[in-house]
Structure 1
Amino acid sequence: MLMRTKLFKSGNSQAVRIPATYRLETELAEIEQLSTGQLLITPIYQEKENRADRLIAVMSGFSADFVEHLERDRYQPVQEREEF
């Protein structure tokens, strides 16, 4: 499906507004100009894996006692209170 979009200036660069239909689920992409003059934008999904690896590394640094405390506090029973 062919769609038109707007180009605009962002700082010293030119930016392309990507319609929601073509939204990329990543923060990084490669851009290449083909011999025909067309631009090819390719998403880089590796960044998401790196973020997940970093999150797991950070989470593994918590002690078992700390995690147990979080889980215990998360599931407190509902308090009974008087009505106004």
Structure 2
Amino acid sequence: MSTMTTRVFNNGNSQAVRIPAAFRLDTDRVAISRNAQGDLVLHPLHPQRGEALLQALRAVAEADEGFIAALEEDRQASAPAQEREPL
């Protein structure tokens, strides 16, 4: 593993570290922690693309099952169509 020196600077009330191109991350979010030796460790957080959509689709699927069951019950409970002579 290679080591490089980079710059730390203030960004508002926070500190920021310039990450050299050789260590470029493929995400815009990271988890940061400090290990037992006091080193800062960055873990890239890959986006959970579509997770909210999947949850919504699961909720709709559950609602659809209940809706379909209610329609079936209603159809079975209703009286048969009356036959009438055309006018």
Pairwise TM-score range, normalised by the shorter structure? 0.5 to 0.7
CA distance in 2 between partners of 1:11 and 1:31 (Å): 19
What's 2:13 paired with?
12
Task: Number of aligned residue pairs: give it.
Answer: 52
Which 4+ residue blocks in structure 1 deviate beyond 2 angstroms?
none
TM norm structure 1: 0.56
Distance in 1 (CA, whole Å) between partners of 2:25 and 2:38 is 22
- Where 1:21 maps in the other structure, the secondary structure is helix
Gaps of 5+ in 2: 54-87
What residue identity is the alignment partner of 1:12? N
5+ residue gaps, structure 1:
57-84
Distance in structure 2 (CA, Å) of the matches to 1:5 and 1:43: 19
Q: State the distance in 2 between where 1:21 and 1:11 align.
A: 26
Give the fraction of aligned pairs with identical amino acids, expressed as a percent. Answer: 39
Residues in 1 aligned to 2:17 and 2:35: alpha-carbon distance in whole angstroms: 17
Which SS does the other structure have where 1:30 is aligned?
strand
Alpha-carbon RMSD: 1.9
Structure 2-normalised TM-score? 0.54
Matched residue, 1:37: 38
Tell me, in whole angstroms, the C-alpha distance in 1 between the residues paired with 2:16 and 2:8.
6
